[in-house]
Amino acid sequence: MLLELLKRDLRLHYGALLLPFVFALTMACLYPFNPDLPIFGPVLGFVFAAFLPLALHLREQSTGSLGDLASLPVARTRIVQLRFLEAFLLPSVLLILANLAMALITRTWPNLPDANLMRGLGWALFYCFAFFLPFTLRWDGKGLVVAFGILFALGLGLNLTQYLPQPIHLSLWAALMKILLFFAAHSHLHTLLLLGLFALCYQAAIRAFAARDL
């Protein structure tokens, strides 16, 4: 059933899906003229592709086809799974195609991504998709505003710590750095933390989508 839902999205929204692919592949093909562009292009294309499942949901809502999707004989959990499938599949396909394009142009095979790069892409996927999905499924565009507001408040809170007494300010940042260094030194725990956050967002998305009326 997920495959059928994925085919439906590809058929209905192929124009929107092509945009990040065209951008990333264009940047990759410009490799001989500017070696910095291929890195920028595919990575930015990855970010765009990670946002695509959210954009597809908002497009469904704005065109009125979200009700049609929800009326299909599938559980709402399947629709959430569809968005996660798209979030993992589309950016991965984009990176593979971009690297193949660069390999054909330069006639050199790119190095396989290491574990640190894969975790970095995982964090990009979390911040560009998984964190926003529960809010988007619950409140559509307003949910995005709420999610961005939460991230802004967190960033502002960290910035305002500089106005605390210096011992408290230094202690807070020292504790934060210890946490970051701990997970950097224990890659398996770092991976488990990331997977746990994805699982938490998945469960939150299921509950959020089940709570709304369509």
What is the pLDDT at residue 126? 96
What is the pLDDT at residue 103? 76
Q: How far apart are CA 97 and CA 92, in angstroms?
A: 9
What is the pLDDT at residue 41? 64
Q: How far apart are CA 95 and CA 45, in angstroms?
A: 8
Q: Which residues contact 45 (CB under 8 A, 6 or more apart)?
A: 20, 21, 23, 24, 25, 27, 94, 95, 98
Angle of helix 76-106 relative to helix 187-210, nearest 10 degrees, comes to 130
CA distances for 210 relative to 75, 80, 81, 213, angstroms = 10, 10, 13, 8
Can you give the residue range of the structural domain that contains 123?
2-210
Q: Which is nearest to 31 in space by CA: 121, 94, 107, 113?
A: 107
What is the pLDDT at residue 31? 65
Q: How far apart are CA 135 and CA 205, in angstroms?
A: 8
Copy the structure tokens of residue 131.
């964190």
Q: How many domains does the chain have?
A: 1
What is the pLDDT at residue 36? 60
What is the pLDDT at residue 108? 67
What is the pLDDT at residue 209? 95
Q: Provide the whole-model pTM.
A: 0.89
Q: How far apart are CA 75 and CA 77, in angstroms?
A: 5
What is the pLDDT at residue 193? 94
What is the pLDDT at residue 110? 61
What is the pLDDT at residue 109? 67
Name residues of the chain where pLDDT drops below 70.
31-41, 108-114
What is the pLDDT at residue 39? 60
Q: How far apart are CA 84 and CA 86, in angstroms?
A: 5
What is the pLDDT at residue 136? 96
What is the pLDDT at residue 85? 96
Alpha carbon 68 to its chain centroid, in Å, reads 25
Dihedral angle at the C-alpha atoms of 88, 93, 96, 97, nearest 10 degrees? Answer: -160
